[in-house]
Amino acid sequence: MQEPLLGAEGPDYDTFPERPPPSPGDRARVGARQNKRVFLATFAAVLGNFSFGYALVYTSPVIPALEHSLDPDLHLTKSQASWFGSVFTLGAAAGGLSAMILNDLLGRKLSIMFSAVPSAAGYALMAGAHGLWMLLLGRTLTGFAGGLTAACIPVYVSEIAPPGVRGALGATPQLMAVFGSLSLYTLGKYGPALPCAGWWEWRVLLRETWLERK
């Protein structure tokens, strides 16, 4: 009587061959390589939080320059300046609500990548603004991107981080948001002394000079 295949012995019937456990050195090399990739992915992701912190306090140095602008298209009253500063929160609320759908529809990674589109469009509108509506729309778009990243990035980081570094990497989104705000305040204070930093101040000065000559 022929024996069943499951009972047969030999390499031909060894469905789950036993493998020797990896050495501590191999485990350390594999772990280090995986951690490097995780750190790189986390750094790329939390740049969105840096942009969010930067955009959150963006109006701090910009509003005084616009309130004293001689250009009628860019001069803001107190009421208009208040709208310019606060409309960001409306966009952030819309971005946070959209993250509830986009997180499941696109996934966390693609949602973070998608947030770069409204962020770039918002800054482009504010950089080339010729009226209040462009300033408000640009501010709303940057708020939408900030709300989207604030909801997606912590989830993404917690999912890709190994247990050993999950706590440390989980704190990076908030830290990057703080660094973004700090960098904007620094540029606002020392911007006029730096040729490439206080671009709003330089733009206002150039347009005022052009209007005076005209």
Which CATH number covers residue 126?
A: 1.20.1250.20
152 in a structural domain: yes
| Sequence-ordered list of residues with C-beta below 8 angstroms from that of 95, at least 6 positions apart, any chain | 115, 118, 143, 144, 145, 146, 147, 148, 149, 150, 151
Q: What is the pLDDT of residues 52-91, one digit of tens each?
A: 999 999 888 888 888 887 778 788 888 998 999 899 999 9
Tokens encoding 172? 């990076």
**Long-range own/partner contacts, residues 30-33 (CB < 8 A, 24 or more apart):** 31/162
Q: What is the pLDDT of residues 144-167, one digit of tens each?
A: 999 999 999 999 999 888 888 888
In the predicted model, is pLDDT for residue 206 greater than 60? no
Q: By residue range, what is the domain housing residue 97?
A: 58-213
21 in a structural domain: no
**How far apart are alpha carbons 195 and 199 in whole angstroms?**
8
Domain count, the chain: 1
Amino acid, single-letter form, for residue 53: G
In the predicted model, is pLDDT for residue 4 greater than 60? no
107 in a structural domain: yes
- pLDDT, residue 35, reads 74
106 in a structural domain: yes
Cα–Cα nearest to 178, from 39, 49, 40, 43: 49
